[in-house]
């Protein structure tokens, strides 16, 4: 928990430094004299801080936290219970952060691994799972761009089709998709842009598929 909180703090600091740098570059101005108590003295330390790799540091914290999580889970006398809600949410959060950080550091293949784990662990929370699956779809598209292995690329395309089909056939998930997302999922699943499946509104007024079944 401490390492994950440290990682999020570092990420927040990096975002603030990025904002400050963009504001400073827009304002411009000449050089300031450096004396005790001057703004220039403080700006030196801020400049040093802005040059740190905040994403890389945060990723190290997250991966270390995941290592500690696995040790606690797989030890001879487990220190944590996977069935515990707090433990499950902490694990999901760690894998989600790891996935997004790896994506932002141009490693979508590594990011997809963690996002898939997070998605698998959120089956009982449809809205949260959908948010993770949205990030996973973006990550998978980046994987297709960087993957040079034809067999691996083909497997990723097939996996992407299946995941999109599952989104459409899960009533709770489908009800939360936007019209644009539904059309995108349809084109990915059946590779026919002009082929549409239109769900009818039920008595509750919620847009849902007219049936529910599991894919084999």
Say yes or no to pLDDT of 197 above 90: no
Q: Which of 200, 210, 207, 168 is nearest to 185 (CA)?
A: 168
**pLDDT on residue 110:** 92
- The contacts of residue 4 (CB under 8 Å, 6+ apart) are 61, 62, 65, 90, 93, 94, 97
Condensed to tens digits (0 to 9), the pLDDT of residues 87-136 reads 678 888 899 999 999 998 889 999 999 999 998 888 888 888 888 888 98
Say yes or no to pLDDT of 194 above 50: no
**pLDDT on residue 77:** 63
Lowest mean pLDDT among 29-43, 45-59, 119-133: 29-43
**pLDDT on residue 192:** 44
- When pLDDT is averaged across residues 174-197 and rounded to a whole number, the result is 73
Q: Which of 50, 43, 42 is nearest to 13 (CA)?
A: 50
**pLDDT on residue 193:** 44
DSSP code of residue 64:
H
**pLDDT on residue 206:** 53
Helical H runs in the chain? 2-27, 39-50, 54-74, 85-104, 108-120, 126-146, 150-169, 171-176, 179-190
- Binned at pLDDT 50, 70 and 90, residue 215 comes out as low
């Amino acid at each position: 928990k401490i390492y994950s909180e440290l990682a999020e703090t570092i990420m927040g600091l990096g975002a603030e430094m990025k904002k400050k740098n963009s504001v400073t570059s827009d304002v411009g101005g000449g050089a300031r004299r450096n004396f005790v108590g001057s703004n220039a003295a403080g700006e030196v330390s801020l400049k040093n801080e802005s040059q740190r790799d905040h994403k890389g540091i945060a990723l190290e914290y997250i991966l270390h936290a995941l290592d500690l999580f696995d040790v606690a889970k797989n030890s001879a006398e487990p220190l944590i219970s996977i069935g515990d809600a707090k433990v499950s949410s902490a694990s999901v959060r760690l894998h989600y952060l790891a996935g997004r950080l790896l994506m932002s550091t141009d490693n979508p293949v590594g990011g997809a691994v963690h996002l898939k784990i997070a998605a698998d662990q959120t089956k009982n929370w449809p809205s949260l799972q959908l948010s993770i699956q949205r990030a996973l779809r973006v990550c998978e598209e980046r994987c297709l761009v960087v993957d040079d292995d034809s067999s691996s690329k083909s497997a990723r395309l097939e996996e992407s089709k299946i995941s999109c089909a599952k989104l459409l056939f899960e009533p709770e998930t489908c009800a939360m998709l936007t019209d644009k997302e539904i059309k995108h999922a349809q084109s990915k699943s059946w590779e026919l842009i002009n082929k549409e499946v239109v769900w009818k509104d039920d008595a509750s007024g919620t847009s849902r598929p007219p049936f529910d079944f599991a894919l084999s």
